[in-house]
Structure 1
Amino acid sequence: MNDLTPARLRELKRDATLRPYDLATQLGLPEAALAEADLGHGAVRIDATLGRLIPAVAALGEVMALTRNRSCVIEKLGTYNDFHDGEHAAMTLDAEIDMRMFPRHWVHAYAVETEGKDGIRRSVQVFDAAGDAIHKVHLRDGSDLAAWAALRRDLALPDQETPSQFGPRAAPEGARTAPDRADTLRAEWVRMTDTHQFNTLVRRLKMNRLGAYRVAGAPMVRQLAVEAVPQLLERVQAEAQQIMLFVGNAGCIEIHSGPIRSLKPVGPWLNVLDERFNLHLRADHIAEVWLVDKPTKRGPAISVEAFDAEGSLIFQCFGMREDKGGDPAAWAGLVATLPGTGAA
């Protein structure tokens, strides 16, 4: 692949019918290398520090926020508001752009301008140390172009020429189970008062999310058939359920809160094509699905969670809380009827 110079990559991108993620996979390159090929040709290498980047993105006004993993893409229209920075985790708390961000994974960032069929397309693209996409921001017709010019100018890094060294991609963790600690897991599970206590609990027991689900058993979890996922989305749409859908990767989780209005399956893809919310889910990547019930002070937090064959989380779907406009009883009734695998 030594012939893949920046000039050659620009050529391939110009002629490609594939999305950058798929083109990079086909070429055996990190996706960030495709963005970096445009340095000096519309792309500017910028500071990925959240405390600088997110306020600059907020100034752009309405944009499209995109977060993905290998199997699922979420896209939301809105504005980055109510940003809370943090050393280990940060967040934006807006009704539309609702995100949790983990700064150590925000390593390479670019402000990109490319000539498209409909004029210049502008985006901020953020990648991890391996060059895998963490989060992207696509400007809209109404976005503030003066703020965009300021972002490109003020966040530009001094070195715009030296090629980045992308590290190896971390291997998928897979399920980490500790069957000998199952009784402790169950005893402490029922004493939880907040869903955030779950991660601390399973880490202490030397497990992870999927590993804990595999050993917890009823009534904490029930394994569902993979066919439960399209049924879930269809029922949520048909019953106008208010949900919270979490999609992300190691560096960013993006959340949709509200209904699903337009569901369009195409081949292996399950697509939600709503006016301000799109979801693209590879149903053929789903290998395990779990119905999970965690106790909280406000009542049970019941979720449907899908994993791929490598044990990586694809998405989580919760019913919205009653104080936020949800119907917990209707949600509990819906998920209770989803088909199981027969596994305990």
Structure 2
Amino acid sequence: MTNQAVMSPEAIRTARAENPKMRDRDLADQVGITEGQLVAAYVGIDVTRISANLDDLFLRLNGLGEVMALTRNKSCVIEKVGQYDNYHSGKHASMVLTADIDLRMFPSHWISAFAVERVTEAGVKRSLQIFDAAGDAVHKIFLREGSDLDHWTQLVTDLKLDEQDQVLAVDARAPTEVPKGDPAKADILRAEWAKMTDTHQFMRLTSKLKMNRLGAYRMAGAPLARALATSEIDTMLEGVRDQALEVMVFVGNRGCIEIHGGPIEELKSMGPWQNVLDARFNLHLRSDHIAEVWAVTKPTQRGPAVSVEAFDAEGGLILQVFGRRTDAGDFRGAWGELVKGLAPLQIEELA
């Protein structure tokens, strides 16, 4: 069912003017609209509607030069600096594969796109922002000081849509799938899990057994999936930093997953947020949103793939962290030892 904006574009712009320093997502939540509807209210002012087709967009991004790629869910934001390249198109899934920007995109969720040129105290801030059917951000691309402005202008001209409406119609948000498990199939799950040779087989296995990720973790239990204290996310991040390990950090939503591959150098807690503040990699994690943390081991042909995964109270995946293997070094052994030492969930924490 599709709903029109509950506020007029004029009313949205008034709310923005009255709250100039609030982040778009926070302001949208406060006034009862979506972030996409907030951005659309400025079409014709400092926003242009553009094509959300991945092939149209991603084949033009390389010419922008160095930019910042941002992907988020409601509990975590990942930001990577680099240049878009090595784009692989696909009907159901597409990819960008570079050392700095590593993305998995799901085109069916790329519904609306905008080019934004917002005047700030620091100058004009230019970005490309893509939203799903509910008006929630799927992915954003922010220009940096050295980005090519001539290419930006041409990109916006090439992708500009004929329709430039300030009202964005949105669908209701799809609810987070609740954890699904089946105690009667727990032994089958454990036996099939132990036979896996690739991590990608896991989702096929859970689908076959009519389970999902978190439901399967709860069914399998240790040693395949070990429940950790929620505070161990911070312990894990500190360990990665202190031991100079390289990891793979996955943060995503229904339409896009962004991946950091490398070290974590600077951590800073601010209120409920735990932040990685490295030169070309930032992570902003709402620690107070974390309801469950699992240490998970999946067998592969290259050895066990060990991850630490955080979930929110609804069962939604917030982020995953794995040990990294590169031609320069294999950090998976040290990562495995770090994860092994993380504190388990105590029964009283469930009360």
Identify the TM-score tier after normalising by the shorter chain: over 0.9
**Structure 1 partner of 2:179:** 175
Deviations 1:92-133 (A, max 9, x none): 001110010000000011011111111111100000000011
**Structure 2 partner of 1:50:** 54
Residues 1:123 and 2:127 aligned together: yes
Residues 1:264 and 2:268 aligned together: yes
> Which of the numbers 313, 317, 320 marks the counterpart of 2:317?
313
Query: How is 1:99-114 mapped onto 2 (pairs within 5 angstroms)?
Result: 99-114=103-118
**Structure 2 partner of 1:27:** 31
1:322–1:328 contact (8 Å) kept in structure 2: no
Distance (whole Å) between structure 1 residues aligned to residue 211 and residue 5 of structure 2: 42
Offset of residue 158 of structure 1: 1.2
Assess, with a 3 A threshold, how the Cα gap between structure 1 residues 342 and 69 changes in structure 2: closer, same or farther.
Answer: same
Tell me, which stretches of 5 or more residues in structure 1 are unaligned?
Answer: none
Residues 1:148 and 2:152 aligned together: yes
**Structure 1 partner of 2:230:** 226
Offset of residue 324 of structure 1: 5.6
Assess, with a 3 A threshold, how the Cα gap between structure 1 residues 3 and 177 changes in structure 2: closer, same or farther.
Answer: closer
> Which of the numbers 242, 261, 275 marks the counterpart of 1:238?
242
Distance (whole Å) between structure 1 residues aligned to residue 339 and residue 5 of structure 2: 51
**Structure 1 partner of 2:7:** 4
Tell me, which stretches of 5 or more residues in structure 2 are unaligned?
Answer: none
TM (normalized to structure 2)?
Answer: 0.95
Task: Write the letter of the residue equivalent to 1:246.
Answer: F
Percent identity over paired residues: 54
Distance (whole Å) between structure 1 residues aligned to residue 14 and residue 98 of structure 2: 39
**Structure 1 partner of 2:298:** 294
Q: Which moved more, 1:120-129 or 1:316-325?
A: 316-325
Distance (whole Å) between structure 2 residues aligned to residue 174 and residue 271 of structure 1: 28
Distance (whole Å) between structure 2 residues aligned to residue 78 and residue 58 of structure 1: 10
Q: Secondary structure at the match of 1:13?
A: helix
Distance (whole Å) between structure 2 residues aligned to residue 197 and residue 104 of structure 1: 23
Offset of residue 266 of structure 1: 0.7
Query: How is 1:90-105 mapped onto 2 (pairs within 5 angstroms)?
Result: 90-105=94-109
Runs of 4+ in structure 1 over 3 Å off: 1-4
Residues 1:334 and 2:351 aligned together: no
Query: How is 1:189-200 mapped onto 2 (pairs within 5 angstroms)?
Result: 189-200=193-204
Distance (whole Å) between structure 2 residues aligned to residue 341 and residue 95 of structure 1: 35
Deviations 1:250-287 (A, max 9, x none): 10000011011110001111001000000000001000
Distance (whole Å) between structure 2 residues aligned to residue 16 and residue 56 of structure 1: 32
Distance (whole Å) between structure 2 residues aligned to residue 11 and residue 162 of structure 1: 14
1:241–1:326 contact (8 Å) kept in structure 2: no
Q: Secondary structure at the match of 2:222?
A: coil
Distance (whole Å) between structure 1 residues aligned to residue 328 and residue 296 of structure 2: 21
**Structure 2 partner of 1:67:** 71
Q: Secondary structure at the match of 2:195?
A: coil
Q: Secondary structure at the match of 2:342?
A: coil
Offset of residue 161 of structure 1: 2.2
Task: Write the letter of the residue equivalent to 1:211.
Answer: G
Alignment root-mean-square deviation, CA: 1.5
Assess, with a 3 A threshold, how the Cα gap between structure 1 residues 2 and 258 changes in structure 2: closer, same or farther.
Answer: closer
Task: Write the letter of the residue equivalent to 2:189.
Answer: L
Q: Which moved more, 1:134-143 or 1:318-327?
A: 318-327
Distance (whole Å) between structure 1 residues aligned to residue 289 and residue 10 of structure 2: 34
Assess, with a 3 A threshold, how the Cα gap between structure 1 residues 271 and 335 changes in structure 2: closer, same or farther.
Answer: same
Task: Write the letter of the residue equivalent to 2:131.
Answer: F
Distance (whole Å) between structure 2 residues aligned to residue 143 and residue 133 of structure 1: 22
**Structure 2 partner of 1:13:** 16
Q: Secondary structure at the match of 2:64?
A: coil
Distance (whole Å) between structure 2 residues aligned to residue 36 and residue 5 of structure 1: 11
Distance (whole Å) between structure 1 residues aligned to residue 5 and residue 56 of structure 2: 35
TM (normalized to structure 1)?
Answer: 0.97
Offset of residue 81 of structure 1: 1.2
> Which of the numbers 276, 281, 289 marks the counterpart of 2:280?
276
Assess, with a 3 A threshold, how the Cα gap between structure 1 residues 323 and 2 changes in structure 2: closer, same or farther.
Answer: closer
2:41–2:166 contact (8 Å) kept in structure 1: no
Q: Secondary structure at the match of 2:12?
A: helix
Offset of residue 342 of structure 1: 4.2
Deviations 1:144-170 (A, max 9, x none): 111111111111111112623101000
Q: Secondary structure at the match of 2:175?
A: coil
Task: Write the letter of the residue equivalent to 1:328.
Answer: R
